[in-house]
Amino acid sequence: MATLASLIAVTGCSSDDPDTSSSATASQPSTTSQPSISASGSLAPIPVPSVVIEGAPTATVLSQSKVVSGLAAPWDIEPMPDGSMLVSERDTGSIKRLRAGFATALNGPGAEALRNSVDAEGEGGLLGLAISPADPTSVYAYLTRADGNAVVRMTLTGELLSSPVDVLTGIPHAANHDGGRIAFGPDGYLYIATGDASDSGLAQDKGSLAGKILRVIADGTEADGTAPQGNPFDSLVWSMGHRNVEGLAWTADGRMYATEFGHNTTDELNLIVAGNNYGWPGVEAREGAPKGTELGETVDGITYPVAEWPVADASPSGMTISSDAIYVAALRGEDVWRIPLTQDGIGTPAKLGIDLGRIRSVALGPDGSIYVVTNNTDGRGEPRDEDDHVYQLELS
């Protein structure tokens, strides 16, 4: 695969959306070996389906159309089986359903509980949403409360949410680095991305839920929030050494990717393997790696990213994966990065070239379109008329 120029190191601040600038990026193929859960609950290689993954090197935005306007600091977007979409608003604690160009707030005891319990300090608030693939009425949400970050489960009936049931509590929280993305994997388990809660040492502490990707049972029973058999540390932890992960997605052949905010210089796209250590705070991307370390390598027990960006070009949040490419929302980069997929890795990242301001999340709709969520009202952007929006992109 093509490799771009070497990264230029710069200085910056320690928030997950640093105010820094730089210039080049790089990428090359990753490996595909990744464990999954077999029927017996033990780790086993994922069998590669008979699918061909080969994305075009570039894509062109043919059109972009506004789906809805007037959202307040939206954070996540989740397509529903009926063609509608759910959007979380970080600061208001509201979940809104998008249908036919209108955004309607969900109601019921669950909606009221979210609005009353969300602590929207700094980067916290109502963050990720996930819909159970086995039961689309089961809605999972990641939120910040006064006592920490938590994942809850609610039942959606029409426009009403039932009272939330705690699935996982005690995830460390802070004004910065709260993680927040949740997603169901192809194995049916729920993956939870957490940040280091501004305490970088927690990312290397296997006993802490901070700075990790977690994997839990989420089947709507009392087992929700417990560790499945086969988790690599016999705990909730799936991978460790993360600074602040806000994007999770899988390819058709089972590869799991995650986006991660850098500190001073470099943002990351990582290929996630169960039990691997991604190095924070000892390394930032390949800053601090042994000389000659290549993208995607594991050296001395640390796994390095498969793609890197200067923090000014990305600050990567939500992501989605289509049949041929990875799409990454860029906050400071104010665009969407498209990374073509290959049978054994990835190609060279390229911006789509949209002009919508900060992008918090992206989703693949049932029609194959890419939906993007702007994030200009979150306190760090420059709001435009009727911000924030959801747009539908048609690509070549």
Write out pLDDT tens, residues 16-39: 555 333 333 333 333 333 333 322
Give the per-residue pLDDT at 103.
97
pTM beyond 0.85: yes
C-alpha Rg value of the chain to the nearest Å: 19
Q: Which of 6-15, 53-62, 106-115 has the highest mean pLDDT?
A: 106-115
Indicate whether 65 pLDDT > 60.
yes
CATH class assigned to 26-34+49-395:
mainly beta
- Domain range summary for the chain, segments of one domain joined by +: 26-34+49-395
Q: Is the pLDDT of residue 266 over 50?
A: yes
Q: List the single range of 33-42, 242-251, 385-394 with lowest mean pLDDT.
A: 33-42
Q: Measured in Å, how far apart are the chain's first and last C-alpha atoms?
A: 22
Residue 46's pLDDT is 41
pLDDT digits (tens, 9 = 90+) for 105-164: 999 999 999 999 999 999 999 999 999 999 999 999 999 999 999 999 999 999 999 999
Are the beta carbons of 65 and 47 closer than 8 angstroms? no
pLDDT for 50: 54
**Per-residue confidence (pLDDT) for residue 55, from 0 to 100:** 85
Q: What is the pLDDT of residue 367?
A: 85
Q: Give the percent of the chain with pLDDT over 90.
A: 84
Residue 98 to residue 270: CA distance in whole angstroms = 31
pLDDT at 366: 84
